[in-house]
A and B are shown apart, each in its own frame.
Chain A
């Protein structure tokens, strides 16, 4: 079953538009949402959770339509946005206790074990928490009821490296348990390389690429070769900084690029893999260049 189904979601502002976005995440799917600043990632999340009204389209979570009159679907949601409000005068414990009333599936022992793994002191008042500690509390809130859908908008902001690693482990365990789908927006693809199966690229408010990670990592390669004269426009390839006679390109279909080079009489081609992070950077750069060409 699709745990998240977005059909034609749209939001218009003056000078900026999101969508229409169509997306489907199945149970057990972990997808990374990647996009430049201002690409619409946060707007998309806000439209999904309903803190911003959407102008069009439908969203269903675990088979339930999400609209204003039906809010029980939110019991199936674990969301981390740019800010989660808490009762500042109360301790972490008390904040969790208040929240737990709203979620029948809330597991107190799970909440406490997550807090412990994140090294979060729940006996302190929330107003004494740092940004990172507040984020940790949001993580506890987002996972304690084992929701069907996890929407995490740059959750690792302000987290120390150890906590970031713990967060990824926690998410891995949720997905491994197989009852949840995850959409994780981040600027650091390397962070979710082990976790995310799918990479979804958002550019200027639209999904420009939605691919299985390995479909990209199998095709994108770094090619370097030796040629006395510069080889212009190699198919599928973007030239990198190079000094003749040594040339380097990044290709989004290395077999096609290599075949072209071989036709040109170049046989000694060194081919190496790219990390998902490197590929994402290339795709985002191409997106940005594409936008520049248009304008």
Chain B
């Protein structure tokens, strides 16, 4: 039943995907107006669309997983999990490819370093999605305390460096600095760290989703 499920997921998301594609085309055409056609400028322009997309995707992703189960389709929790993630991966891959294509065609200075930067960016988004997805999936677990502990952990992760910063009167070491550090790591290391992190989080998400006590809203 997995192919049928995958087909259903893509059908259900095709308008959102099409919209993303159209907006990209729109921005590509818009870039023709500007003198500076660097890939960074294009990415900057499309990032508004991109982040709105990310938010819509992550919400519909967790919603879909639950609805398919609720609909009593003859599919396993695991199949639903993978089908839903495959949609996200496909969509992100498409967006990254568009950036690549833009860079190759329009940016004279598009180089290998920028390709890896784009990959890191995509992987960074995946890590972010996985972190949020785990939060959604923890909601269905019993006791609910797990969900709150996780949220507290995330909040701590974000706020602690800031508090530490204020107290120690030292600049640097905020989470955003850490992220920036990851992005500016040497190509190989940065990609490796993010990949491992993403795969780890994905497996954790699967484990959490399979252990849900209730798949109702």
Residues of A in contact with B (beta carbons under 8 Å apart):
46, 49-53, 68-69, 71-75, 77, 79, 81, 83-87, 89, 98-99, 101-103
For chain B, give the interface size range.
20 to 34
Contacts of B216 in A (CB 8 A): 46, 51-52
CB atoms of A85 and B74 under 8 A apart: no
Docked-complex contact A51 and B214, CB < 8 angstroms: yes
Residues of A within 8 A of B210 (CB): 68
Specify the chain A residue showing the minimal Cβ separation from B12: A87
Interface contact A74-B11, CB-CB below 8 Å = no
Q: Which residue of A lies closest to B213 (CB)?
A: A53
Which chain B residues lie closer than 8 Å to A77 at the CB level?
72
Assess the A85–B70 pair: CB atoms within 8 A: yes
B214 and A103 contacting across the interface, CB-CB below 8 Å = no
Residues of A within 8 A of B7 (CB): 101
Shortest distance between the CB of B11 and any CB in chain A (Å): 7
List chain B positions with a Cβ less than 8 A from chain A: 1, 4-5, 7-8, 11-12, 15, 67, 69-77, 210, 212-216
List of B residues within 8 angstroms of A83 by Cβ: 70
How many angstroms from the CA of A271 to the CA of B212 in the assembled complex?
55
User: Most B CB atoms within 10 A — which of A51, A69, A81?
Assistant: A51
Give the residues in chain B near A79, CB-CB below 8 Å.
72
Can you offer 23 A-B residue contacts whose CB atoms are under 8 A? A46-B214, A51-B69, A51-B72, A52-B214, A53-B213, A68-B77, A69-B76, A71-B1, A71-B74, A71-B75, A71-B76, A72-B74, A74-B74, A75-B74, A81-B70, A83-B70, A84-B70, A87-B12, A98-B11, A101-B4, A102-B4, A102-B5, A102-B75
Contact of A52 among B1, B74, B75, B215 (CB under 8 A): B215
Closest residue of chain A to B216, judged by CB? A51
Task: Write out the residue numbers on chain B whose beta carbons fall within 8 Å of the beta carbon of A103.
Answer: 74
Whether A53 touches B67, Cβ cut-off 8 Å, given contacts A74-B72, A103-B74, is: no
Residue of B with least CB distance to A80: B72
Closest 9 CB pairs of A and B: A74-B74, A85-B67, A101-B4, A52-B214, A75-B74, A71-B74, A79-B72, A51-B215, A53-B213
Contact B76 A53 (CB under 8 A): no
Task: Choose one: A68, A84, A102; the contact of B76 (CB below 8 Å).
Answer: A68
Q: How far is the CB of A158 from the nearest CB of chain B, in Å?
A: 18
Residues on A with C-beta less than 8 A from B12 are 87
- In the complex, the answer to whether B71 meets A85 with C-beta atoms within 8 Å is yes
Extra 16 A-B pairs, beta carbons < 8 Å, given A89-B15, A103-B74? A51-B216, A68-B76, A68-B210, A69-B76, A71-B74, A71-B75, A74-B73, A84-B70, A86-B71, A98-B11, A99-B71, A99-B73, A101-B4, A101-B7, A102-B4, A102-B73
B15 contacts which chain A residues (CB < 8 A)?
A: 89
Shortest C-beta distance, A255 to chain B (Å), equals 46
A272 to B74, CA, bound (A): 49
B4 contacts A84, CB within 8 Å?
Answer: no
Considering the chains assembled together, what is the distance between the CA atoms of A108 and B15 in angstroms? 27
List the B residue with the shortest CB-CB distance to A98.
B8
Task: Tell me the minimal C-beta distance from B59 to chain A in angstroms.
Answer: 15
Complex Cα spacing A51 to B70, Å: 6
How many angstroms from the CA of A98 to the CA of B1 in the assembled complex? 12
B74: chain A residues at CB < 8 Å are 71-75, 102-103
The CA of A47 and the CA of B206, in the complex, are separated in Å by: 21
Contacts of A75 in B (CB 8 A): 74
CB of B4, distance to nearest CB on chain A (Å): 4
A77 CA to B72 CA in the complex, in Å? Answer: 8
Q: How far is the CA of A81 from the CA of B72 in the complex (A)?
A: 10
Chain B residues with CB below 8 A from A73, complex form: 74
* Closest chain A CB from B141 CB (angstroms): 10
Write the chain B residue with the least CB distance to A103.
B74
Chain B residues near A69 (CB-CB < 8 A): 76
Interchain nearest-CB distance for A94 vs B (Å): 9
Which B residues are CB-close (under 8 A) to A84?
70-71
CB distance B214 to A49 under 8 Å? no
A98 to B68, CA, bound (A): 12
Please name the residue on chain B nearest to A76 by beta carbon: B74
Which chain A residue shows the least CB distance to B68?
Answer: A85
Chain A nearest CB from B2 CB (Å) reads: 11
Determine how close the nearest CB of chain A comes to the CB of B12; give it in whole angstroms.
Answer: 6
Instruction: Give chain B residues whose Cβ lies under 8 Å from the Cβ of A71.
Output: 1, 74-76
- A73-B76 Cα distance, complex, nearest whole Å: 11
- Closest-by-CB residue of A relative to B72 is A79
Give min CB distance, A182 to chain B, whole Å: 16
**Known contacts A68-B210, A85-B67, A87-B12: A49-B4 contact under CB 8 Å:** no
- Whether A53 contacts B212 in the complex (CB less than 8 A), given A87-B12, A98-B8, A102-B1, comes out as yes
